[in-house]
Structure 1
Amino acid sequence: MRGSVTRLARRVRVIPFQRPTHTHGNRAFFFIIPPRLGATTSFHHNAFFSSPSPFRFPTGQRRSMFIQTQATPNPSSLMFYPGKSVMEVGSTDFPNPRSAMNSPLAKSLFAIDGVTRVFFGSDFVTVTKSEDAAWEFLKPEIFAVIMDFYSSGQPLFLDSQAAAAMDTAIHEDDSETVAMIKELLETRIRPAVQDDGGDIEYRSFDPDTGIVKLRMQGACSGCPSSSVTLKSGIENMLMHYVPEVKGVEQELDAEDAEAALSGQME
């Protein structure tokens, strides 16, 4: 989340990442073939420029897929880029398996032992794991699930009416202050936060106290530096452009609140 603070302050695209064995730029490239189809997972060093032999799927069509990964400031979250559009509009956060019942992809990811949260961005999927799970074992399973989903032709959501939460949509009954807050969140703050594999959701503004309440999503939820992002990045920007804003507070969902309570009790 510290990367978000830097971008919010300077508007410079600097994405923190851990350099993997095979890279191009700031992302790791993987050429994936589903293990259960008889092939082994392979890593293609120069996948971006090369044209490896395509894999023949049961449909008879020749397809190949490159899945890239990118680290986030949250060591428990990793971004997966399927090379295809994920969310056409907005983003969707799945904090638990119950919330994923309407999405075949999210539901399949939660079926992997060790996956605790899933987030859909515009062109990436952020997966969060439990502390005792290891990425070296999770990544091949996640690759296979993403590959299977995009080759199956299934919709991202079973309910065709399901859409991303339009929390920053400006309504007729919104005050001028709320409209300004939403516009800043959508145009200046959200893009920087999404670069770190997460998002923010506008919850409310109290005109009496001047407090804006936001909910962190994806990799930003539970990230050790999320409080720095809120205070040093988002809060400073909102207070600078909207004088009515006196502070920003994070509103926790049920899972995060329970985790925070458990941490205090230990």
Structure 2
Amino acid sequence: MQTYKVSIRETSNNAIIKFEVNQFITNHQSFEFENIDDAKSSPLAQQLFYLPFVKKVYISGHFIAVERFNIVEWSDVQDEVAEQIEAYLNDGGIVITSSEPPGKKVPVTIYAESTPNPSVMKFVANKKIVNALFEFTSIDEAQHSPLATALFHFPFVKSVFIEENYVSVTKYDMADWQDITMELREFIKNFIADGKEVIKAQAVEAMQHSHAQSEQKFEALDDTSKAIVNILEEYVKPAVASDGGNIQFISYDASQKNVSVLLQGACSGCPSSTYTLKSGIENMLKQMMPGKVETVEAING
């Protein structure tokens, strides 16, 4: 069984703290409770209202936001609250008892956004749909993603890339985006609105195991490789994510001063990826790590 982990996130309102969970705790639904009587449908919220400083509880797909009265400061109690929520969830505590009425859809909007790769369209949701990134290049690979599996039943879908709040779809040349974009947008919107599972729990567990292995790999890297990874994470990943893709460090050859990276999603096979690598990523690494990096080469995912 997957272990729940809770992390603390500050908000723009210093009276409110978000306790983010490493997996979804409601079926893409959101609930707000003003007091313990109002929270009859949520044993978790009721548990929190027993704390004298809790003023309001908001529960969403992957976090619990708590507003406090001014009798305490969050810095004094937030760790204790996070531990309490984590223990409650790991003990099998119920988050919400009453579900949405049958047939009622979860409010969701999806818009289509073009990417630098003419074969890829990015479908962006107004809410978080997964907690990690997943790439599927065939229906066999997509067995842990009901959404990706369903998308592969469209004959023009070549690959599917899913990250926090969007789905990138790569098409075969047999179809034009002007003919299929609306169909895909409506399909993805209805799939999420119906409360269907985007990624199965087994895939999330496997991803977390993989993430733990990645952290171990990072610690085993030499100092130069670690510096390259940090630069890619901070400066490059956000830019390629906005285009519906992802980049991962593969290796660093000190003798050749060469960096190998993996391109995924919209970045994979993109005609402009070579230009981006040479004029963008390669130049950045050469400037930020003089004498250490000369070339960057990409492997398409």
TM over 0.5: yes
Alignment check: 8 A CA contact 1:115 1:129 kept:
yes
Alignment check: 8 A CA contact 2:168 2:266 kept:
yes
Alignment check: 8 A CA contact 1:212 1:249 kept:
yes
Distance 2:140 2:105 in 1: 35
Structure with the larger RCO, 1 or 2 (CA within 8 Å, 6+ apart)? 1
Deviations for 1:42-63, whole angstroms, at most 9, x for unmatched residues? xxxxxxxxxxxxxxx9824354
Q: In the alignment, does 2:214 pair up with 1:214?
A: no
Could you tell me which residue of structure 1 aligns to residue 205 of structure 2? 161
Distance 2:198 2:168 in 1: 18
Alignment of 1:89-128 (within 5 A): 89=132, 91-128=133-170
Q: In the alignment, does 2:139 pair up with 1:86?
A: no
Query: How many corresponding residue pairs?
Result: 196
Alignment check: 8 A CA contact 1:94 1:100 kept:
yes
Alignment of 1:1-266 (within 5 A): 59-61=102-104, 63-89=106-132, 91-150=133-192, 151-159=194-202, 160-163=204-207, 166=211, 169=215, 171-243=218-290, 244-253=292-301
Could you tell me which residue of structure 2 aligns to residue 11 of structure 1? none
RMSD: 2.3
CA shift for structure 1 position 121: 2.1
**Which range moves more in the overlay, 235-244 or 166-175?**
166-175
Distance 2:284 2:234 in 1: 12
Q: What is the percentage of aligned positions where both structures have the same residue?
A: 36
Please identify runs of 4+ aligned residues in structure 1 that moved more than 3 A: 164-170
SS at match of 2:126: coil
Could you tell me which residue of structure 2 aligns to residue 258 of structure 1? none
CA shift for structure 1 position 144: 3.8
Distance 1:184 1:134 in 2: 36
CA shift for structure 1 position 158: 4.5
**Which range moves more in the overlay, 92-101 or 223-232?**
92-101
SS at match of 1:141: helix
The change in CA–CA distance for 1:168 and 1:248 in structure 2 (over 3 A counts) is farther
CA shift for structure 1 position 77: 0.8
Could you tell me which residue of structure 2 aligns to residue 15 of structure 1? none
Distance 2:107 2:219 in 1: 47
CA shift for structure 1 position 145: 3.2
Alignment check: 8 A CA contact 1:105 1:145 kept:
no
SS at match of 1:179: helix
Distance 2:124 2:280 in 1: 26
User: Which residues of structure 1 form unaligned runs of 5+?
Assistant: 1-56, 254-266
CA shift for structure 1 position 162: 2.6
Calculate the TM-score normalised by the size of structure 2.
Answer: 0.59
CA shift for structure 1 position 172: 2.4
SS at match of 1:69: strand
User: Given residue 165 of structure 2, which amino acid in structure 1 is its aligned partner?
Assistant: D
CA shift for structure 1 position 102: 1.4
SS at match of 1:223: coil
CA shift for structure 1 position 72: 0.8
Calculate the TM-score normalised by the size of structure 1.
Answer: 0.67
SS at match of 1:185: helix
SS at match of 1:239: helix
The change in CA–CA distance for 1:62 and 1:152 in structure 2 (over 3 A counts) is closer
SS at match of 1:172: helix
Alignment check: 8 A CA contact 1:76 1:129 kept:
yes
CA shift for structure 1 position 168: 7.0
Deviations for 1:138-187, whole angstroms, at most 9, x for unmatched residues? 22432343234322342513414132764974732211101100100101
Distance 2:229 2:271 in 1: 25
